[in-house]
Structure 1
Amino acid sequence: MSLIWKYFTLDSAESSTANCNVCKAKVSRGGRSISNYNTTNLIKHLQKHHAKEHTEFAQVKRKKDDPSKQMTLTDAFQSQKQMAQQSAKAVKITEKLLEFIVLDDQPLSIVENIGFRRLMEHLEPRYSLPSRKYISETALPELYSKVSSQIADKLKDVQSLSFTTDIWSSDVCPMSLLSLTAHWMDASYALQSAVLNVKELRGSHTSSVISASIKEMLDGWKIPISKVHVILRDNASNMKKAMDDLGVPSLGCVAHSLQLVVNEGLLSQRSVSDVIASARKIVGHFKHSPLAYSRLQDLQREFQMPLKRLQQDVKTRWNSTYYMIQSILEQKRTLCAFAADHELPASMTANHWALLEKTMIVLSPFEELTRAISSSSSSTADVIPTISVLKRLLSQERDTDAGIKTMKSTLLQAVNTRFGNIEDEPLYTLATLLDPRYKDRCFTNEEAAMHAKNALIQEVEKIENALKTTATTALATAADPAEMVSHAEASGSSGHTSKSTFMMMFDEVLNKEQEESEGGIIQTSALVQVQTYMTEKLIPRSENPFQYWAVNNSRFPALAATASAFLSAPCTSVESERLFSTASNILDEKRNRLLAERAEMLIFLKKKPDNVYQVNPATGFCHW
C-alpha cells in the first residue's frame, strides 16, 4: 500500500477523487476506471501545496526504497525453505498441535486429514506436518513423560494421599479401564487432585486382579501403602475385597449409597414405580417422534412457555429420574393439552400427577444433598452432617406431609440401614471434627462423639511425634560435631550433661506438674490443641475450611497437619466417573481401535491439574 494514503482518504474504493487530509481539497486520482487510477496527482498536490508533508513523505519513501533494506536473494530463498523438524519454531508448532489434539479430543489421525493439512500449509508453508506415527509414538509419550514428572515432583513431599478409583467398560470396543486419581492438600492447604493412571483391566474383574493393578499403579508412582489415607470406591463386593486384600483403608461412594437408598426406599414402591414408568414412556415418545415434539413446541409457544425438551432418565442414576419428573411436571399443562388431541403411549390421571408431585417433594432433599457431596470441594467431613440433616428432615412431621408419610418413613428406614454406622467410622468422624464448620455439633450419638475426640487426640499425638522426630533429625544433621564437642568440654564433661541427678529429677517433677491438669488428666500439647480448637466458635458453612487451616496452621501445627490428611479425602468417587466421561469422548466410534496405552496418555493429559500448564493472559492460550 502506497505511503501517500497517510495524507489522503477516499469516500469509497471506487471514488475518482481523494480527499486531502491537510486542506480537505478533492484531488483527481487520474484515469477513467479503477484499474487506471494512480497516485501521481496526489504526490504533485503535496509537492505544490504542502511542502512540509511532501518532505516527510519523500524521506519515508527513500528509507523504504533503500536497497540495503530490501530482502536479499538468499533471504528470499531462505523464507521458502522448509523448517528443520528440530528447529525451535517447528518444535513449538508440534507442541501446540499436540495440545490441540489432547485438549479438544481430536483423533491422532487428524494430521492425515486433507482439510487440516491445507490449513496448516496456509498458516505456515515452511512447517512439515508430522506423521501420525510420530505423534503417537514419539510426541505423545514425550509429553506424557514430561507432565507425569511434574506431578511426581508435586507428590514427592506429600505425607498423606487419598484416592478415588473406578472401573469403566467401553461401549464401542472390548476394553475396560481402571482409574486411580490422587487427592491431597498442598503446603498452602489448597485442595489438589491429579489423575495418576487409567490402566487397562484385562480378564475377569476379580478382587485379586483389581488389588494387584492398584498396587502396580502405586509402585509405579513410588507411593508406599503407608501414605495411603483412604481409597474411595463403589459399593461392589469385588472392589471392597480388593481394598481389604491390598491392606488400605477404603470407603464406599456416598452417592452410590444414596442411589441404593432411593431405589430401596421409594422407587421400589409399586405405585411410584408404575407412575414413573408411565412418565418414562411419555418422554420416550417425544424423544423418538419429531412430529410429536414439534406439536409439543407449538403448544409451548401457544401457552407462552419456554421451549424445553423433556428429560429422559437413566435407571442407574436416581437423580436423573428426579429431573425427568421435574421436566414432566413443568410441562403438565402442555402435555394435558397434547393428550386431548393426540394419543400418548401412557395416560396420566389426576392421581398420577399428584403422586409425581409428592415424589418430587420427597426427593428434593436427596437431590440437594447429592449435588453438595458431588462438588469438587466436598470431603468425608460432609457425610455425617448431611446424613444427620437428612434424617431429621425425613423424621419431622409437617402439615404438608399428607399422602407422603409412608414414602418418608420408608426412605428414613433405608437411610438408617445404609448409613447407620457412619458415626463409628473413624475416617468420617475425625474428618467431621477437623472441619471447623461442623466439629462435634452434628453427631447424634454422644458416645460416638467422645470416642472420636479421643481418637483425634491420638492422631494428633502421632503427627506431633513425627514432626518432633523430623525436627530433631534435621537439627542433628545440621549440627557441627566439632562445635558439639567444644560445648561439652566447656560444660566440664565429655559429651555428658552437666546437670546432677537431683536437678534432673527436679525438672522431671516440674514437667509432670505442668502436664497434669485439675482432673489428673495429662495436658499434652495434642490435648491442648484439640481442646482449644473444639471450644472456639464454628466458622460459617459458606466459608472455606481449607483456608481456615491455612490461617491457623501456626496456632495448631499438629492439628493442621492431621486436617490436611483427613480433609483431602472426597466422599464420593464422582471424580473417577467424570474422568470416564472424558474416556467416552476419546474412545468413540471413530477411535474404537485406539490402543489402551494411547488412550491412557490422552486421558491423563486431558485431565492433568490446571497448574501443570499456564495460561497466557495476553492471548488466553495455554502452554505446557
Structure 2
Amino acid sequence: MSRENPWAVKITEALTHFIALDDQPLSVVDNVGFRRLLSTLEPRYEIPSRPYITDVMVPKLFEDVKKKVRDQVNKASALSFTTDIWTSSVCPMSLLSLTAQWLDEEFIRHHVTLHAKSFRGSHTSQSIAGAFDSMLQTWNIPKTSVHAVLRDNARNMIKAMSDAELPSLPCTAHTLQLVVHEGLLSQRSVTDAVAVGRKIVGHFKHSALANSRLEDIQLEINQPAKRLQQDVQTRWNSTFYMIQSLIEQKRALGIYVSEYGLPDTLTGHQWILLEKVLSVLGPFEELTRKVSSSDAMAADVILAVTVLHRFLTRETDEDHGVKAMKGTLAAAVRKRFTDVEANPLYSIAALLHPRYKNRFFSNATTAAHAKEVLKLELLRLPGELDKQEDHDLNEPPSRKPRTDQTTSSLDSIFDEIADEQASASVGTAAVGSSVQVETYLGEAVISREDKPLQYWVVNKVRFPTLARLAGRYLSAPCTSVDSERLFSSVSHIVSESRNRLTADHAEMILFIKKNLPLTFSKEA
C-alpha cells in the first residue's frame, strides 16, 4: 500500500493523533510490539519512519489545527489569557505559556492553548514583554482585544505586563498561598507541630516495612488502609492534606508508636493544635479548589475575600489556641487583597455577575464607586446606551426560591451576607444612561444553583449593553491554573524518554494535544 493511498493517509493521521494525544514518544513507530500490532491490523500498511512523523506529519497537523484555532480566536471580541514560565528538569529547556479563553455571543466559554514558546536566556521583564508582543502578533491579536492576563506574583512578571501595556491580574490561588504561608508561620508552635508531622510521614514514605506494619494496624482496627500524605512546602494545601491524613490515622499511629516507635512523635497539645489548624484552614482549602475550577471567574474574587474575611474575624467558642493565627490570616488577607475592590477588572466583573452584583463589597462606599465606574465603562462602548424603549426592563424573570443546600461554612456565610444586603439593594428610579444599571442592580440576585452565564443568555435582550460588557468581564479567570495544567502536560511530553525533543517540536505536540480535541466536536 503506497503512502499516498487514502486509507494509508488516514492511518498515518490517526497514528500522529495517537502520539500527540497520548503522550507517546516519537520513537514508538520503531517499537517492535507497536509495529507488530499495526502489521496485524493492516498488513499492507507501511509504517512511516520517526523522521517522517517528526518532520512532516507533526508540522502538517500543527498547521491544520492552528488554522482552526485562529478562526475561532479571530471571532472573539475580547480575550483573557493565562501565562507562566516552566523549566524542564530533564533537559535545558524553558517555555513561556499563553492560554486564551473568551465568551461567544451565546455566552459559551471557549478555551484554547496558543503557545508554550521556547524562552531562552534570563527571565527579565523586558524579555517576557518582548515575547508577549511576539506571541500576540503571531495570532494577529490587537492589545485592545486583551481583557486581562492572569499571571503569578513574581516581580518580573508583574513588570513585564506593565512594560507590554497589558492589563493583568495576580493568580488568586498564588495569593492565597502567600496568605496561608504568612498565617502558618505566624506561630512557632504551629510550624513545630507541622515539622514533626512531616517527619512522621517521611518515616513511612521511606520505609516499606513501616508502611506495611501501619497498614496491618489499620486493618486490625477496621480502618481502610490509607497512606499518609507527604506535603510539598511550596503548596500550602498539600500541608493541609498531610495534617488531615495524620488526624485520620491518629489512632493507628498511636498503636504503631507503642509497638515499634517513631523518630518523633506529636504531643497531646500538638494533636489538638493541628486539629484547630485544620478547622481554620478548611475554608482556605475549599476556596482554593473553587477558584482553581475551570468555570471560576475574576468576578468571584471580591466575594471570596469578603466571605473569607468574615470567617476569620468572627469569634467562636472554637477559637482557643488558634485565635492569634486567625488574626494573622485576616491581616494577611487584608494586605494581599487590599486593592481588589478598587480594581475595575474585579469590581465591574462582580457587578456583572448576577449572583453577586453589589451585595458583596466591604462597604456601601466602594459598592457605589464601583457602580459609577461601571456606568462610565458603559458610556465608552460604541452605540447609544439610551436606546432602550423597545426592551421591557420592568419584568424581571421569576426568581427560583432558594433551596437549603448549604454544604460548607463558606456557603452559609455567602447566604448570610446576601440576605443582609437584599433589603438594601432595592431598585431606584433611573433616567438616561443609568436605566440598565439601576434596573439590573435593583433586581434580586440569582441563587447559587443558577448559572450566571445562562442568566445573560436569557437577559441579553433586556440589558443589551450590560450583556456586551458581561461578555468581556466575565471571560477572565481568577487564576493561572490553565497554564499550570498545561505544564503538567509538558512534563509528560518532555520526559526522560523524550529528552532529545526540541522546544519547537515540544510546542507543536503540546499545541496539538490541547487543541486537537476541539476539532472533534462536530464528528462526535
Normalised TM-score (structure 1): 0.76
Aligned pair partner of 1:138 in 56, 60, 70:
56
Residues 457 and 530 in structure 1, CA contact (< 8 A), matched pair in contact too: yes
Q: How many residues align?
A: 484
1:450 counterpart letter in structure 2: A
Spell out the pairing of 1:338-377 with structure 2 (5 A cutoff).
338-377=256-295
Alignment check: 8 A CA contact 1:193 1:609 kept: no
1:523 is matched with: 431
**Hey, what's the Cα distance between the residues in 2 that align with 1:218 and 1:365?**
38
Q: Please point out which of 128, 146, 149 is paired with 1:228.
A: 146
Deviation at 1:522, TM superposition (A): 8.4
CA displacement 1:112-158 (0-9 Å, x = unmatched): 11111111111101000011111111111111111111111011121
* CA displacement at 1:325 relative to structure 2: 0.4
- Partner SS state of residue 151, structure 1: helix
Shift of 1:463: 2.4
User: 1:183, 1:191 within 8 Å by CA — same for their partners in 2?
Assistant: yes
- Counterpart of 1:586 in structure 2 is 493
CA shift at 1:614, angstroms? 3.2
> Would you say the 8 A contact 1:464–1:558 is kept in 2?
no
Maintained 8 Å contact 2:186/2:325: no
- 1:196 corresponds to: 114
Where do 5+ consecutive residues of structure 1 fail to align?
1-82, 469-518, 618-624
Q: What SS does the corresponding residue of 1:195 show, helix, strand or coil?
A: strand
SS of residue in 1 equivalent to 2:299: helix
Is 1:100 aligned to 2:18, yes or no? yes
1:184 and 2:184 matched? no
**Cα distance in 2, alignment partners of residues 537 and 543 from structure 1:** 13
Q: Post-superposition shift, 1:345?
A: 1.8
**The residue matched to 2:445 in structure 1 has which SS?**
coil
Q: CA deviation at 1:349?
A: 1.1
- Tell me if 1:596 matches 2:507: no
Amino acid at match of 1:85: R
Q: Deviations 1:412-435 (Å, cap 9, x if unpaired)?
A: 111111112211111000000000
CA displacement, residues 209-228 of structure 1 (integer Å, 9 cap, x when unaligned): 00000110000000011111
SS in 2 for 1:197: strand
For the 8 Å contact 2:105–2:471, the answer to whether it is kept is no
In structure 2, the CA distance between the partners of 1:202 and 1:257, relative to structure 1 (3 Å rule), is same
Runs of 5+ unmatched residues, structure 2? 387-427
- Could you tell me which amino acid in structure 1 is paired with residue 169 of structure 2? L
Aligned with 2:480 (options 562, 569, 573): 573
Match in the other structure for 1:322: 240
Query: Residue 554 of structure 1 aligns with which residue?
Result: 461
Displacement after TM superposition at 1:269 (Å): 2.3
Q: What do the CA deviations read for 1:179-203 (whole angstroms, capped 9, x no partner)?
A: 0001100121011111100001100
Query: Does the 8 A contact of 2:77 with 2:145 survive in 1?
Result: yes
**Residue of structure 2 in register with 1:43 after alignment:** none
Which structure's relative contact order is higher, taking Cα pairs within 8 Å and 6+ residues apart? 2
Offset, 1:467: 9.4
| Equivalent position amino acid for 1:539 in 2 | I
Normalised to the residue count of structure 2, the TM-score between the two structures is 0.90
> After superposition, where does 1:424-439 map in structure 2 within 5 Å?
424-439=342-357
Query: Which amino acid letter does the alignment assign opposite residue 500 of structure 2?
Result: R
Q: State the AA in 1 paired with 2:65.
A: V
2:419 match: none
* In the alignment, structure 1 residue 88 sits paired with structure 2 residue 6: yes
Query: Given residue 506 of structure 2, which amino acid in structure 1 is its aligned partner?
Result: A
What is the aligned partner in structure 2 of residue 5 from structure 1?
none
CA distance in 2 between partners of 1:235 and 1:326 (Å):
28
1:219 and 2:137 are equivalent in the alignment:
yes
**Deviation by residue 1:331-377 (Cα, 9 ceiling, x = unmatched):** 00111111111121211111111111011011001001101111000
Partners of 2:384 and 2:10 in 1: CA distance: 46
Deviations 1:430-453 (A, max 9, x none): 000000000000011222111111
Partner of 1:333: 251
Q: Which of 289, 293, 307 is matched with 2:225 structurally?
A: 307
Deviation at 1:386, TM superposition (A): 1.0
Query: Is residue 97–residue 116 contact of structure 2 (8 Å, CA) maintained in 1?
Result: yes
2:392 corresponds to: none
CA distance, structure 2, for counterparts of residue 183 and residue 243 of structure 1: 18
Report the alpha carbon displacement of residue 601 of structure 1 after superposing the two structures with TM.
Answer: 1.0
Distance in 2, Cα, partners of 1:462 & 1:183: 23
